[in-house]
Structure formats: C-alpha cells, structure tokens
Chain A
Amino acid sequence: MSALLEVRGLSKRFGGLTAVRELDFEVRVGEILGVIGPNGAGKTTTFNVVAGAYRADAGEIRFAGESIAGLPPHRIAARGVMRTFQHNRPFGGMAAIDNVLVGAHTRFRRRLWSIVLGGAREEETRQRERAQELVQFVGLGEAVAADVTTLSFGQGRMLEIARALAGEPRLILLDEPAAGLTPAECTRLADIIRGIAARGIAVLLIEHDMHFLLALAHRVVVLNFGAKIADGLPDEIRAHPAVMDAYLGSHAAHQ
C-alpha cells in the first residue's frame, strides 16, 4: 500500500522546549494508524502541525505526494485532511446538522452571486441529505435538528466526527476521540472508526487510552518526549519493552 501522508524529520520547538524531535511516520491509504504516548509525548503537537495549526520548525509533510507543510489549516482541509478537536468545539447556536454542513464547506461549488440570484437550492438540498446521512452514521439521528448546546459530551464528540467526515476527507485526524467517553460510547466510537476506515478513509488516531487504541489500529507509532520510540503492529507494541517502560513506568515492564 502506498503512503497517503508522509512525515519526515518533523521537529517542533516551543521556546526552549522541543515538543517533537525528528519524527518520521506515514499513514497508508485506508489504514488506521494509531499514535500513542504518555501525556506530553508530543502527540497533539504532531497532530496540530499536520493539520496546519502550528508551523513545523523542520521536516517535510507530504499528503498525496504534495508538500502541505506551511499551508494554512483551511487549505489543508480543502485538500482532504479533516480533523476533530480533543476538546469539542461545536459552533454554538446552530443545529447539529448545520454544524455538519460547516464541515462540508469545501464541497460547495456554487459561488456567492449564484446564491444571491437564488440558484443554489439543488446543491444545498443535496449536501443537506448527505449531512443527514453522516449524522445517522455517527448515531445522532434523533438529534439532527437539536441545538448543539443541548447535546451531551459524548454526542458532541460524535458530532465532531460527522462534521469532519462532511468534508469528504481522504485522511481524518482524530485527536483523543475516546477521552471522556463512557465505556458504552467507546464501543460505539470504535465501531464508527472501523466504519470510517471501511469507507476507504485513512485514519490518524491519537490516543491516550492504550487498550482502546491497540484494539483498533492497524499499525502503531509510540512517542515519548517528542521522539518515536517504537512502531509496528499492535501485538509487537504490546510486547515492546521500551513501550511498557515509557507508558507504565519501568516497574511494570518487569512484571
């Protein structure tokens, strides 16, 4: 399988702190790549650099063969890389479905003047139907028209995912999607993520919860103190001494 996202020699510093150091990894077409590591390992920084929210100090980021390093977030989204946020960031005062439609922003082709002339109805209806399907897909069917501020935390997380999918991504970046969810919601989330991969969308999954991630990812990259300490299949990672050491402390690794 070919690489959809290629990250080579990525470094990001904040003042004197090196958050990410010479990181290499790739996400292949249709796979779920898990990135794991303890708090402060540089997971979210890596994520934000790929999504364009931060600018890399060094390194190369290529998506579908083209460099996306240094592009602003909206350009990266338009190329087919959509993200969710670790802390839900809904657009308040809008219905759930309208939040999802904001995610479809780059999929609209009608220009503003044609909207003013009243010629964009068909496209609006079509996108609204598609957004409706996505809301169903993440299990929020009954909350389609609800104001987002009335959704529960878990529902809000699912909405983030539906919103990112609305942009028809080729790669979706999920930033700790299981954080704060109940066990039942985690099970549903895992099904949804498998469903996303089954649609042919590559998933870059950043997760703090090792059990959740290892059950889901096709391959895993382990970060600690901003550097990669291991990568491989979930089974290899489970057995990797350096991983146990970093994650659970050196004591647990010897048990």
Chain B
Amino acid sequence: MKSIALGLGAAIALSALAFLLGDYHNDVYRKLLLWIALALSYNFVFGICGQVTFSHFAFYGIGAYAIVILLFTAAFPLPLAIVCGVALCVALALAVAIPATRLEGFYLALATMAFAQLFIVVLNEGGAITGGTGGLASYRLPPVLGLDLSGRAYTVVIVLVLIGTAAVLRRVDHSWFGRACRAVRDNPEAAAAMGVDVARTKVIAFTLSSVLAGIAGMAYAFVDNTVNPPIFGLENAFLVLFMVIVGGSGRHAGAVVGTVLLYLLPFILSPLIGQHHALVFGVLMVTAILLQPRGLIGLYDRLARR
C-alpha cells in the first residue's frame, strides 16, 4: 500500500510539472522522462544483473518502429498493436539472449552491439516498411477512448510509462528474482550452488529490460511523431551506459540522477562551449570510473554516512 501511494504521489507530482512548463520545455521534459525510463531498465540488466549489453537502444527503436508500422501500415487497433509490439520485443530479446548468455562479458557486449548495428541496417534497407534512411513521419496518435492525447496530455502518458517501468523494476528487484540477478552478477558459481539457474536468470533479466525499453520506445514514437534510423544508433546506447555508470550502477536512484545530469548537461553547456560538451562527458566518465566507481549515488552514501 505504501508503495502504491508513493507511485501515485510521484505520478501526480511529475504530471503537475508538465502543466507548469511551456511547449518547448514539455518536449525536453518528455524526452528526459523517457531517458530515465530507459536508464532504469538498463540499470536492471547492466547494474543489477551484471550483463554489458549494447542492444538496449535498439529495443527502444524496435518498440517505436513496431507501433508505427502496426498502427498505420498494418492498420491494427491500438491495443492489439501494443500487444504485438511487446510480443515482437519478447521474441527478439529471447532470440538474442538465448545464444548470447552462453557468452561472457566482452563477447556478450559484442553480440548485442552487432544486433544493434544490424537493426540500423534493417531500418535503412527496409524500403517502404521502415521508410529507409528518412524513416517514418507525418502520422498522429489516434484519439484514445475519445481523448486527444497530445501536448501536455501526452506528457502525462509518458509519466505513467515511467512510473509503470519503475514500479515493475522495483517489485522485481525486491523479490527472489532480483536477488538471483545480483547473485549471478557477484558470483555465478555460488549462485548456481544456491539453486539459481544462471543462464535462465540472465535470459529473463535481458528480456525484461529489453521489453521495458521497447515499451518506452512505443511512447517515444508519438513524442516527435517521426522515427528515423539516426535516433536509435549506437551513440545513444553508449549514452545510456554512461548515465547508469555516472549515477551509480546497480541503484535505481543512481540511474535517475545520472540521467538527469547527463541529459541536461548539454542544454547548460552548449551555449557556453558549443559541441565540445562531448569532451566534458568523456572527462566525467573517466573520472567516475577511476575515482568513484559507485557513481554519484555512492558519493552521496559516503557523505551521508559521515
């Protein structure tokens, strides 16, 4: 009950903010919320289950493209399109994870990176279905139950996607499954001796986090009302990794803090130093890894303990 009240409170507070912001800032805010959702689900597979994957952003793209294609090319009704989009993410995640969990560390990273690259190739070469290099545009979300979900109302939809993602991850993390994931990350051999099926745990964690990325992607499709290949490239896959590491991997709060910082940083730095903000990212990243591997949230813990 306490956690439901907490979720509800957060949903109301985050939604209220949408009505205080102007149109431009609402757009920035919507994207920030989606990045937080992505970082939370990436933190689950990377920070909690200890698997370095680069396919997270590809699943975001798969969700986005799937919902647009299913709604407008295949003319599915919205609920069916969502269900089919989720099913597609599950199927693709399993197809990647089942062979990939036989791989360790470096090789898993490579396999998922290859998958992410393959996805971009498919988007570029997909002809009329994916719209090729130009992607798909000029579509609009049809009214849902008679409601026109655009502008601030759509920000509320995204708030709900974020709260839903956080709630699912929190529940799973505080269960036998979350503990099994951490055990697999820390010591797979000891985890197996405790009865944890290591391969199965990795597959489920990967699939869960990929599906949550896919759902965030579906929500993204109606933020700019356009989807195109460059958005879902590897650059962003690395950015989500940086967000989790800088914030503090393995911690939900860390993912949130890291995302807010790295997402808003360019907005602050660009007027000052232009495109050189990437340099600041790099320095921040190296500093985090060398001096504060537990990230900003670890720094906060240390200061709070004093």
Contact = CB atoms under 8 A, between A and B. Distances in A.
Interface string A110-132: 10100110101000100100000
Q: For chain B, what secondary structure do more than half of its interface residues adopt (helix, strand, loop), or is it mixed?
A: helix
Contact of A89 (B171, B172, B180, B187): B187
Nearest to A80: B195
A102 interface: yes
Contact of B183 (A72, A77, A78, A91): A91
B190 A106 contact: no
B194 A85 contact: no
Interface stretch (A10-18, A93-101, A138-146): A93-101
Contacts of B197: 72, 74
Interface residues of B, number: 25
Contacts of B183: 91, 94, 102, 105
Nearest to A163: B194
A77 B195 contact: yes
Given A98-B179, A102-B179, A167-B195, A115 B190 contact: no
A93 B250 contact: yes
B204 interface: yes
B179 A115 contact: no
A72 B176 CA distance: 20
Contacts of A103: 194
A23 B197 CA distance: 29
Contact of B195 (A74, A94, A112, A120): A74
Nearest to B208: A112
B196 A85 contact: no
A53 B250 CA distance: 28
B192 A124 contact: no
A90 B183 CA distance: 9
Given A89-B187, A112-B204, A74 B192 contact: yes
Contacts of B198: 74
Given A102-B179, A105-B179, A115 B191 contact: no
Contacts of A213: none
A94 B179 contact: yes
B182 interface: yes
B171 A116 contact: yes
Contacts of A90: 186-187
Contacts of A167: 194-195
Interface in B220-256: 250
A116 B190 CA distance: 26
Interface in B195-227: 195-198, 204
B167 to A, nearest CB: 8
Contacts of B182: 91, 93-94, 98, 102
B195 A115 contact: no
Interface in B161-197: 168, 171-172, 174-177, 179-180, 182-183, 186-187, 189-197
B180 A73 contact: no
A223 interface: no
Contacts of A120: 175
A85 B193 CA distance: 9
A78 B195 contact: yes
Contacts of B172: 112, 115-116
A83 interface: yes
A53 B193 CA distance: 8
Nearest to B186: A91
A36 interface: no
A116 B187 CA distance: 26
Interface in A145-198: 163-164, 167
B192 A89 contact: no
Interface string A49-77: 00101000000000000000000111001
Interface of B: 168, 171-172, 174-177, 179-180, 182-183, 186-187, 189-198, 204, 250
The 4 nearest A-B residue pairs measured at CB:
A77-B195, A106-B195, A89-B190, A108-B176
20 contacts: A73-B189, A74-B193, A74-B198, A77-B194, A77-B195, A83-B193, A85-B190, A89-B190, A91-B183, A91-B191, A93-B250, A98-B179, A104-B176, A105-B180, A105-B195, A108-B176, A110-B176, A115-B175, A115-B177, A124-B175
